[in-house]
Amino acid sequence: MRNIIALTLTALTLAPAASALDATPTDAGLSYGPRPAYLISLLPEGDLKSKLQSCAAQVPARSTFSIGHRGAPLLFPEHTVQSNVAAAQMGAGILECDVTFTKDLELICRHAQNDLHTTTNILTTDLAETCITPFSPATGDSPATAECRSSDITLAEFRTLAPKMDSFDKSATTAAASQGGVASWRSTQYSDGATAMTHAESIDLFKSLGAKFTPELKSPAVEMPFNGFSMDDYAQKMINEYKAAGIPAADVWAQSFDLEVVKYWIDNEPEFGKQAVYLDGRYSGDLPLDPSDPDSFSPSMQELADMGVNYIAPPMWFLVTLEDGKMVPSAYAKEAKAAGLKLITWTLERSGPLTTGGGWYFQSVQPAVSNASSYYEILDVLAQDVEIEGIFSDWPATVTYYANCMGL
């Protein structure tokens, strides 16, 4: 852990100075970089552009409205020290560790239990023999395949792996070639020497960076109980690591797509349960939720509130729709607010260039999306009209600039 903290302090020392005379020590050296100004320059003339341009000389300040999504994975390997240091340097006030477990039941930061073949170099190491689905090369019309799970290796073995940008080249004919396939709008420039973390190490790191915490308990890829480790054990162990580190429950927004896990925290860890976040994944399955039709919400917003749920976090497109060509709050957003639920959403800047409409995250408003400035247009509607509490972003500087300018 000392090496991680030392790396953090070095990175913060090297961060661009902000001349922040009134900043706290953990806010010193925050930087927006060039991206916010670039996006603002693309906005059509109007009140939003004028307001954001008027803040060009503001001093960056940390904001809990700005949430680092796995750190800053637009350019840095996700769930690494470097990715989270970058997010903190951009003023993200809350940082995320997606939590899963190893063979020896240690909690680590990884987006999925079965993503090691896309987020690490495991396929090019001796640990490739542990993969539940060994690498199979692309042949003809059949893509390359592999699946490697953290539950098949120990923590000590996990530490030997090198993190990389999340990618898998499905046209690859060798394991080495499969390491490519990074989206053209991301980068491998900052991948060298990236450092993975345990969940406990992420707590120490985020605290040292002056940030708060939003861990997500990931759904296991293995059948539970796993070696006697139940879902309740798993959910409790994650909370226990915050308690052991002396982190106040008010600084933690524990997340899960599994409503039963959220209810477990509400019932068994009520202080943490107050801010437990139900990640709404009801966009798939036999009867997917329709954000425009409250009759499709099962459970309803009021039923969720009656269970003790205070926070709900759907994807952005659940919360906005179009009326007369303009982005406005959806029926989903209105129902959630009427039930007293607080809203967080995901994920800004995970769509790459927006010239083709923004894809999955912008699907409910695609006709109104023309270029990258729509990141700020949808953010403005989410913040001012939907009144979200915070938003995950792959490049938190964009959100931090907006939050600072709007006083969020």
Q: Per the confidence metrics, is the pTM higher than 0.75? A: yes
Query: What would the pLDDT profile of 236-288 be if each residue is shown by its tens digit?
Result: 999 999 999 999 999 999 999 999 999 999 999 999 999 999 999 999 988 89
* Beta-carbon count within 10 A of 223 CB: 6
Query: What would the pLDDT profile of 114-133 be if each residue is shown by its tens digit?
Result: 999 999 999 999 999 999 99
- The DSSP-derived string for 303-336 is HHHHTT--EEE-BHHHHEEEETTEEEE-HHHHHH
* Average pLDDT of the chain to the nearest whole number: 94
- Dist. CA 24–CA 21, nearest whole Å: 9
Query: What would the pLDDT profile of 33-83 be if each residue is shown by its tens digit?
Result: 999 999 999 999 999 999 999 999 999 999 999 999 999 999 999 999 999
Q: Quick check: 206 and 95 in contact, CB under 8 A?
A: yes
Query: What would the pLDDT profile of 205-247 be if each residue is shown by its tens digit?
Result: 999 999 999 999 999 999 999 999 999 999 999 999 999 999 9
Q: 167: closest CA among 118, 117, 111?
A: 118
Per-residue pLDDT band for 5 (boundaries 50, 70, 90) equals very low
